[in-house]
Structure 1
Amino acid sequence: MNSYDVAIIGSGPGGYVAAIRCAQLGLKTAIIEKYSTLGGTCLNVGCIPSKALLDSSHHYEDAVKHFEEHGIDIPGEIKVNLKQMIARKQAVVDTTTGGIDFLMKKNNIDVYQGLGSFKDATHITISGEKETEIEAKNTIIATGSKPSSLPFINIDKERIITSTEALKLKEIPKHMIVIGGGVIGLELGQVYKRLGAEVSVIEYMDRIIPTMDSGLSKELNKVLKKQKFKINTSHKVKSVERKGDEIIVKADNKKGEEVEFKGDYCLVSVGRRPYTDGLNAEAAGVKLNDKGQVEVNDHLQTATKNIYAIGDVIKGAMLAHKAEEEGVFVAETIAGQKPHIDYNLIPGVVYTWPEVATVGQTEEQLKEAGVEYKVGQFPMRALGRSRASMDLDGFVKILADKTTDEILGFHMVGARAADLVAEAVVAMEYRASAEDISRMSHAHPTFAEAVKEAALAATDNRALHV
């Protein structure tokens, strides 16, 4: 029987990063993955493939809608080759997952293919082509999550689908009904909207992206409606029925009136659930809470002290980069170091176009906590760089403490928001003030100038270009 200092169950961003960090710290490490490729949901059926399709569909939309204005004439009709688009997406996935194979070899990490389940607190059974058992002084549970559904919905994976199936459709829907106005539903909805589908979003809450700052929700709602999305908030879905190739969704609006939606595809994107199927957690003394999450303490330690859990399978935002931070945190904890994670500084992003990015506290959270704050906001359309690229939608909003000027929250809708949020994370990590950012030189012309201008706006309303 092979023995390890650390065994990791699950090879998503949390699991494989934890494995690499453990190996760097001199720990003999094994990683267990039930699927044939490494990388988990993110690399195989999540972050990476969805961004590949978002980029491809963005190119198509630009060609159809904007090339002529840029002085680019294309003779003949511009057509979507969905088969090639999906094939390119898969090539990106294959290259990326192959890169994880390389990293495992480079770091001398043993990879086991099969379902990992606890025999006891220090022994793991791996059910693959043949059953194997290994011994581990420490184990990290990184088994991730699966798409959630509603109890009355029968997901047939053909017409009533999850995000997994939406990444490999063989045709462009005529009318895609999206249940859920969160990150996944809006991103994949935008892919198919660009390619020619009619898209109707049905959201239970009173706004889309409801966990983010309400200003972002309002702005993105406005932008998507301009893109001809049909957005229905405060709608409670009560039935989803398939009749041949037609899907009928019935929902009650906020007045209690029944509304009917008909389409040829229905994407169910109502969140994700922790995945612990087959883990046999109880055999190791690992406890789950009523949401199915693995219970952990502040050190991400389970009820059994040599077993840890990270990522989507525990509490908190289901984000790949959160899982990565937790993977490093646990590896360093096992090695005897004293690492730290500031969960307030884990950014959140929606990869629609324009992008949405946020970090820190929302206005709603600051009001609820009774914190006095000031707001600096700057519109993207006031930038020369935005006019040059025709990316005029959105804004940057900085929330700063009214007394100390410390930045408490950063919220942005606009081009390259996903990249620009890192500036705010750095600033907030070092407890910078809005004035600190306002006094830093930002290259001109760039989208990043909007961050400086918002900081100036928060500093005695000193924005220069509005």
Structure 2
Amino acid sequence: MVVGDISTGTDVLVIGAGPGGYVAAIRAGQLGLDVTLVEKDAYGGTCLNYGCIPSKAMITASDLAYDANNAEDMGIYTKLDVNYGEMVEWKDGVVSQLTGGVEKLCKANGVSLMEGRAEFADDKSVRVVHGGEGQGSETVEFENAIVSTGSRPIEIPGFEFDGEHILSSRQALALDEVPESIVIVGAGYIGMELAGVFAKLGSDVTVVEMLDSVLPGYEDDLARPVKKKADELGIGFHFGQAAKEWEESGRGITVVTEDEDGEVSEFGAEKALVAVGRQPVADTLELENAGIETDEKGFIQTDDRARTEQEHIFAIGDVAGEPMLAHKASKEGQVAAEVIAGEPSALDYQAMPAAVFTDPEIGTVGMTQEEAEAQGFEPVVGKFPFQASGRALTTGHAEGFVRIVADEPSGFVLGAQIVGPEASELIAELGLAIEMGATLEDLAATVHTHPTLSEAVMECAENALGHAIHTLNR
């Protein structure tokens, strides 16, 4: 303990109040444990304050404006004025409501809140450094600790974030006005989501990507409708391009890229957004003092109960490895709290969904056909196009499909992939099917309300069984 420190103790110390940390703290409080939650920035973490929630708010608002301005097929002719400043104020209001709610829920469940940056002194205590001049620090001794420090955007050499010319996703979501033009480095889910937002709000958007397609890691037929829509929005793509440097030019900047043959290209814009991925925030924790090492990528290794190599210290969320998903962090936080409380809890990722909030959306869960084959199953695949969905057609968004992968001998649902309207919502039913051990017959026999998008799930299961009504069977 540092001389002059205040010293306190707790059953459970949670470091980081993002969607993993605050959930872990609340669950531990519900289980009767004394809990201290340390946060150095804002309750709710990156997700609520700078990522998931603000980006989805801006996606919703830009979609609404774009759809209203492009509804001639429905006989609607209008030209809306978008007040971007007021849109941002509305987004900030949503964020404020949610983060305030997190703080209230923590307090209501007996969680002690502490502001500051935590550093391990040893495997039983941390030093919490408070922000601001003269604020000092204090030592917190713990029986168990849960590390939930999240992740930060990756900076590439020569493109350090300055908030003016070179933006992180957080900075892009905090702009006061829509840039006339923007170069986005990276065609992953963050880059593609924000490309859609800015394009729909009137920006001239250019995307440069090192690989040869959008949304690397997703199957081609899932990414293809997203690329098609982006083309319709006027987004320009340049694949096989690595960002090398930039310079100020006129009212904006010029981004210089290079392909694998060494050929150089230049792209001018008002601003550039770098969205090439995220990296874990573990380097601020002094983990070595607690006897914990990270892997070569900076992640903390854990077991199926979220325990690190020190069994009383847990790690959850982005800092504990891929996939970096808020709902994964929340589930891991619940499990960590329950394990600490002596509950028989463990992690199971077989039904962990993922979603991309592009236009159209993508939702996935479980195995692909190739993954099922690799694990020794005999997969059968059903598919249903949204073009055959009455409800999809009535929304004006009928691109994409639902696909279900099942084990043919048993009928058990193994995985699903959706690209199309409300894919992020529809994937939940298929995650539940996997979690419960449901079969194709179970899905097909479940009566779905007509007309709804969810009927596509039922018809997809019927297609796998060979008796779908509204599409040709396999």
- TM-score > 0.5, shorter chain as reference: yes
1:27 matched to 2:29? The reply is no
**Pairwise CA distance, 1:208:** 1.6
Provide the rounded CA distance (Å) in 2 between the counterparts of 1:449 and 1:259.
47
Question: Match for 1:450: what amino acid?
Answer: A
Q: Deviations over 1:81-112 (max 9, x none)?
A: 11111111111111110001110111111000
Provide the rounded CA distance (Å) in 1 between the counterparts of 2:370 and 2:236.
26
Question: Match for 2:249: what amino acid?
Answer: K
Q: Secondary structure at the match of 2:212?
A: coil
Provide the rounded CA distance (Å) in 2 between the counterparts of 1:363 and 1:149.
35
Q: Secondary structure at the match of 1:419?
A: helix
Question: Match for 2:282: what amino acid?
Answer: T
Task: Assess if the C-alpha contact under 8 Å between 1:213 and 1:364 holds in 2.
Answer: no
1:326 matched to 2:327? The reply is no
**Pairwise CA distance, 1:253:** 4.1
Question: Match for 2:55: what amino acid?
Answer: S
What percent of counterpart residues are identical? 39
Question: Match for 1:309: what amino acid?
Answer: A
1:410 matched to 2:416? The reply is yes
Number of residues paired by the alignment?
462
Residues 362 and 234 of structure 1, relative CA distance in 2, 3 Å threshold: farther
Provide the rounded CA distance (Å) in 2 between the counterparts of 1:269 and 1:242.
20
Q: Deviations over 1:172-205 (max 9, x none)?
A: 1222211111111111111111001122222222
Query: Which residue in 2 is equivalent to 1:373?
Result: 379
Query: Which residue in 2 is equivalent to 1:117?
Result: 119
Question: Match for 1:198: what amino acid?
Answer: D
Query: Which residue in 2 is equivalent to 1:341?
Result: 347
**Pairwise CA distance, 1:362:** 2.2
**Pairwise CA distance, 1:337:** 1.3
Question: Match for 2:92: what amino acid?
Answer: Q
Question: Match for 2:89: what amino acid?
Answer: A
Provide the rounded CA distance (Å) in 1 between the counterparts of 2:422 and 2:151.
28
**Pairwise CA distance, 1:461:** 5.5
Provide the rounded CA distance (Å) in 1 between the counterparts of 2:374 and 2:240.
23
Please list every run of 5 or more consecutive structure 2 residues that lacks an aligned counterpart in the other structure.
Answer: 1-6
Q: Secondary structure at the match of 2:304?
A: coil
1:140 matched to 2:146? The reply is yes
**Pairwise CA distance, 1:261:** 2.0
**Pairwise CA distance, 1:69:** 4.6
Residues 152 and 372 of structure 1, relative CA distance in 2, 3 Å threshold: farther
Residues 382 and 256 of structure 1, relative CA distance in 2, 3 Å threshold: farther
Query: Which residue in 1 is equivalent to 2:129?
Result: 127
Provide the rounded CA distance (Å) in 2 between the counterparts of 1:319 and 1:78.
35
1:356 matched to 2:362? The reply is yes
Provide the rounded CA distance (Å) in 2 between the counterparts of 1:368 and 1:221.
29
* Candidates 65, 77, 91, aligned match of 2:70: 65
Q: Secondary structure at the match of 1:57?
A: helix
Question: Match for 2:94: what amino acid?
Answer: V
**Pairwise CA distance, 1:354:** 1.9
Question: Match for 2:271: what amino acid?
Answer: Y
Task: Assess if the C-alpha contact under 8 Å between 2:363 and 2:419 holds in 1.
Answer: yes
Q: Secondary structure at the match of 2:68?
A: helix
**Pairwise CA distance, 1:247:** 2.6
Query: Which residue in 1 is equivalent to 2:251?
Result: 245
**Pairwise CA distance, 1:340:** 2.5
1:191 matched to 2:197? The reply is yes
Q: Which moved more, 1:278-287 or 1:92-101?
A: 278-287
Structure-to-structure mapping, 1:272-283, within 5 angstroms: 272-283=278-289
Query: Which residue in 2 is equivalent to 1:104?
Result: 106
**Pairwise CA distance, 1:209:** 1.6
**Pairwise CA distance, 1:147:** 0.3
Residues 449 and 103 of structure 1, relative CA distance in 2, 3 Å threshold: same
1:288 matched to 2:324? The reply is no
1:388 matched to 2:394? The reply is yes
**Pairwise CA distance, 1:277:** 3.6
Task: Assess if the C-alpha contact under 8 Å between 1:213 and 1:411 holds in 2.
Answer: no
Provide the rounded CA distance (Å) in 2 between the counterparts of 1:342 and 1:363.
20
TM-score norm. by structure 2 comes to: 0.93
Query: Which residue in 2 is equivalent to 1:209?
Result: 215
**Pairwise CA distance, 1:367:** 4.9
Residues 237 and 183 of structure 1, relative CA distance in 2, 3 Å threshold: same
Task: Assess if the C-alpha contact under 8 Å between 1:125 and 1:132 holds in 2.
Answer: yes
**Pairwise CA distance, 1:278:** 2.5
**Pairwise CA distance, 1:333:** 0.6
Q: Which moved more, 1:398-407 or 1:242-251?
A: 242-251
Q: Secondary structure at the match of 2:20?
A: helix
1:95 matched to 2:100? The reply is no
Q: Which moved more, 1:151-160 or 1:79-88?
A: 151-160
Task: Assess if the C-alpha contact under 8 Å between 1:212 and 1:362 holds in 2.
Answer: no
Query: Which residue in 1 is equivalent to 2:3?
Result: none
**Pairwise CA distance, 1:455:** 1.1
* Candidates 46, 55, 63, aligned match of 2:60: 55
**Pairwise CA distance, 1:4:** 0.9
Q: Secondary structure at the match of 1:215?
A: helix
Provide the rounded CA distance (Å) in 2 between the counterparts of 1:86 and 1:264.
20
1:3 matched to 2:3? The reply is no
Provide the rounded CA distance (Å) in 1 between the counterparts of 2:333 and 2:125.
21
Query: Which residue in 2 is equivalent to 1:419?
Result: 425
CA RMSD of aligned residues (A): 1.8
Q: Which moved more, 1:9-18 or 1:423-432?
A: 423-432
Residues 454 and 254 of structure 1, relative CA distance in 2, 3 Å threshold: farther
Structure-to-structure mapping, 1:67-82, within 5 angstroms: 68-72=72-76, 74=78, 77-82=79-84
Please list every run of 5 or more consecutive structure 1 residues that lacks an aligned counterpart in the other structure.
Answer: none
Provide the rounded CA distance (Å) in 1 between the counterparts of 2:22 and 2:270.
38
Q: Deviations over 1:416-452 (max 9, x none)?
A: 1111111000101122222321121110000001111
Q: Secondary structure at the match of 1:357?
A: strand
